[in-house]
Amino acid sequence: MCLAIPGEIVEIMADRPLATVDVTGVRRSVNIGLLDREALAAGDWVLIHVGFAMSKIDEAEAMATLRMLEGLGEAYDDEIDALRESRID
């Protein structure tokens, strides 16, 4: 819950504040209503908290964060498992 997971935006939905993101191969919808939609595009990285993109980050930061998260082991696995179950629309 406390983990911020980096995801790469694959697609921004035209009619809703949602984006499909790729998080280490898992593709899920996240809400982008807390960010400036105009400032987001496919290929951008965002930090995701509990289904909401909270900040835009660059790729270097995303890679660093991913590696740190992978080092967490179980806590990160649980978070990704939870994300896998998520069906936000």
Instruction: List contacts with another protein (CB under 8 A).
Output: 1-4, 31, 33-36, 47, 49-52, 54-55, 57-61, 63-65, 67-68, 71-72, 74-75, 78-79, 82-83, 85-89
Q: How far is the CB of 9 from another protein (least distance, A)?
A: 16
Between 1 and 14, name the residue whose CB sits nearer to another protein. 1
CA pair distance 45, 21, nearest whole angstrom:
9
Q: What angle do CA 75, 49, 9 make, to 5 degrees?
A: 110
For residue 63, what are its two tokens?
Answer: 């890679």
Q: How far is the CB of 57 from another protein (least distance, A)?
A: 6
Look up residue 41 and give its amino acid.
A
